[in-house]
Amino acid sequence: MIIRPENIIGNEFSAKGESTFRSYNPSLNQEIDATYYIATAEEVEQACILAQKASKPYFQIGVKKRTDFLNKVIFYIQENQAELLRWFVQESGLNEARAKLELDRTIFQIKTYAVSAEKLYSTLNSEAADPPIHSIKREYFPLGPIAVFGASNFPFAYSTAGGDTASALAAGCPVIVKGHPLHPITGHLVAQCIQKAAIDTGMPEGVFSYLNSNAIQVGQQLVLNEAVKGVGFTGSIKGGRAIFDLAAKRETLIPVFAEMGSVNPVFISKKSLKQGNSWAEEYAKSITLGVGQFCTSPGLIFGLNSGEFDDFANRLNHLLETTDEQVMLGSSIKENFTQGLTKIGVELDATSSPNAIKPTMKVIEAKEFLNNSDFAEEYFGSFCVLVKCTDLEEVESCAQFLKGQLTCSLIAQEDELKEMSDLIYTLKSKCGRLIFNGVSTGVAVHPFQQHGGPYPASTDSRFTAVGDDAIMRWVRPIAVQNAF
């Protein structure tokens, strides 16, 4: 593949603007020699017009041909795997093993959503009413063009050909991706794979477009364009809320699914603390996985104040301290992380590379936690706050103090659960996924997965960004009455 500077608009490449930006290697802290033309308002409009025109033929070709298209996307991603992995590593600061894992996950997701869509569109729900006045069947209909805002932290799995794009395309919706500025080469090359697959398989032009962008205007124009019928976003609370607020100003309201922030609190029981060493090791790994740049990274651990808790904290601290320094996705991410931690009095150790961090943690008492909501915020990076509680009542108060979460975790023995029923209810009331005796990082693509949660974890807790039902964000039921 060729690294090209233009926007991808339907079957064409387009560079009508003058503003550009360049890719950047966070490990080397230097620009990469690849320039991108930021999409102009005219180009955004053109992508939207094409997507709108493509909606009908893309729906009418049927789910089997859409699956052929998605399989061809997989083919091109696999064919260009070596190149994609190389640029992923250069642009993200993440290593090749992670890149490969994420690429495999991306392919698995595309396959899963194609299968989900085949099920959805082949199952016609039909039942006679009682009394049999009407015969009503249920069909599904795609919402129409979807704007996808990829994530900084998943250049493959939650960006250009990631979960939102794949689920929307599988559902029968054209997709316009706003490329993420932290991985423009990776994003653009994946976009070229999708464009080639669309042309190869005879998809209607406009079923996919990809717009270069390093600021907010392109996204704003997309969200406000009346041709766009839904939005998928993965990123910060600030970004997701801004998009929701903007969409709420449209004349025609549309669904906005933003998967945003989460601190992923962990509650560890008395007996489990006695197994402290093994859990400390599990959590050290989970906290530092992907430099803590996961929406499911555990950021808070609660336990009863005890010698065992101190042992657990000391062990975890040791493991974090002895972890090698890690390069973050970009300088802005490091800056946000550093500034955030300053608010709660944590200063990061110096590192040899400017975009790197040393993993760290902080131990506080429940009273401090309950008196300062900053401790309940997400700090995106390898970091965790440990909270010592005097009794189960204080644990419960801390749980109730939390905002909506993607995940909550409970590390406990079976015989302890009875006295924890209040806590379990509270955790369920807060999250989309409750994990027993495991870490929250690693979100399986699973028929019953729920990756979302009460606000601010997502903008709509009834939908999921991961798992078979991710496609349900982009379709609506139609009741067909008295059909022939």
**By C-beta, is 166 or 237 nearer to its own copies?**
237
Give the start-end residues of each E strand in 203-268.
Answer: 208-211, 230-234, 256-259, 265-268
Neighbours of 229 (CB within 10 A): 22
Q: Is 459 in the site for its own copies (CB under 8 A)?
A: yes
Would you call 282 a catalytic residue per the annotation?
no
What stretches of 412-474 adopt beta strand conformation (E)?
431-436
Among 2, 352, 414, 418, binds its own copies (CB under 8 A): 414
- According to the binding rule CB under 8 A, does residue 252 interact with its own copies? yes
Q: How far apart are the first and last CA of the chain?
A: 50
> Is the Cβ of residue 205 or residue 468 nearer to its own copies in the bound state?
468
Residue 133 in contact with its own copies, rule: CB under 8 A: yes
Record the tokens describing residue 467, joined without a space.
């798992």
Q: Quick one: which of 284, 297, 456, 470 contacts its own copies (CB under 8 A)?
A: 456
* Catalytic position from the list 259, 308, 378, 394: 259
Closest CA to 467 of 406, 412, 415, 411: 406
Restricting to residues 40-69, which ones interact with its own copies according to CB under 8 A? Answer: 55-56, 59-60
- List, in order, residues 6 or more apart from 116 with CB less than 8 Å away: 167, 170, 468, 469, 470, 471
Tokens of 407: 């995940």
Cβ contact 46:14 at 8 Å: yes
CB of residue 435 to its own copies, shortest distance in Å: 4
Query: Which tokens belong to 253?
Result: 């309201």
Strand partners, 230: 146
Q: Which of 125, 339, 342, 373 contacts its own copies by CB under 8 A?
A: 125
**Which range of residues in 177-185, 274-282, 350-358, 423-431 is near its own copies by CB under 8 A?**
423-431
Residue 318 or 462 with smaller CB distance to its own copies: 462
Site for its own copies contains 484 (CB under 8 A) = yes
* Bond into 204 cis (ω within 30): no
Q: Does 254 bind its own copies (CB under 8 A)?
A: yes
Q: How far is the CB of 372 from its own copies (least distance, A)?
A: 18
Q: Could you say which residues in the range 160-219 bind its own copies, by CB under 8 A?
A: none
Which residues, 321 to 360, sit near its own copies by CB under 8 A?
A: none
Nearest to its own copies of 96, 436 (CB atom): 436
Task: Write the DSSP symbol of residue 434.
Answer: E
Is the peptide bond preceding residue 447 cis, with omega within 30 degrees of 0? no
Q: Is 96 a catalytic residue?
A: no
Q: Is 404 in the site for its own copies (CB under 8 A)?
A: yes
137 is an interface residue for its own copies by CB under 8 A: yes
Does 442 sit near its own copies (CB under 8 A)? yes
Contacts of 143 (CB under 8 A, 6+ apart): 171, 173, 229, 230, 254, 255, 474, 475, 476
442 CB-contact burial (10 Å; exposed 0-12 / middle 13-18 / buried 19+)? exposed
With respect to its own copies, which residue has the nearer C-beta, 28 or 478?
A: 478
Q: Is the distance from CB of 387 to CB of 366 less than 8 angstroms?
A: yes
Strands 135-142 and 208-211, how do they pair?
A: unpaired
Neighbouring residues of 264: CB distance < 8 A, sequence distance ≥ 6: 296, 297, 298, 299, 300, 405, 406, 407, 408, 409, 440
With CB under 8 A as the contact rule, the residue among 116, 292, 432, 470 that binds its own copies is 432
Q: Binding its own copies by CB under 8 A: which of 255, 275, 368, 401?
A: 255
Give whichever of 200 and 422 is closer to its own copies, judged by the CB atom: 422
Instruction: Report the nearest approach of its own copies to the CB of residue 129 (Å).
Output: 5
Cα dihedral value 89, 92, 97, 101, nearest 10: -120
Catalytic residue among 193, 295, 398, 408: 295
Binding mask 82-121 for its own copies (x = CB under 8 A): ----------------------------------------
Q: Which is nearer to its own copies, 41 or 141 (CB)?
A: 141
SS3 327: strand
Whole-angstrom CA distances from 14 to 9, 106, 201, 225, 326 are 7, 27, 22, 19, 37
Nearer to its own copies, 373 or 390 (CB): 373
**8: helix, coil or strand?**
strand
Nearer to its own copies, 33 or 415 (CB): 415
Residue 428 interacts with its own copies (CB under 8 A): yes or no: yes
Pairing mode, if any, of strands 360-365 and 383-389?
parallel
- Total site size for its own copies, rule CB under 8 A: 69
Stretch that binds its own copies, among 7-15, 95-103, 388-396, 447-455 (CB under 8 A): 447-455
The stretch near its own copies (CB under 8 A) out of 173-181, 205-213, 327-335, 432-440 is 432-440
Which of 31, 245, 335, 393 contacts its own copies by CB under 8 A?
245
Report residue 361 CA to chain centroid gap: 24
Q: How far is the CB of 367 from its own copies (least distance, A)?
A: 24
Residues of this chain that interact with its own copies (CB under 8 A) are 55-56, 59-60, 125-127, 129, 133-134, 136-139, 141, 143-144, 241, 244-245, 248, 252-255, 403-404, 414, 417, 425, 428-429, 431-438, 442, 444, 446-450, 454-456, 459-462, 464, 467, 469, 472-473, 475-484
Residues that are catalytic:
259, 295
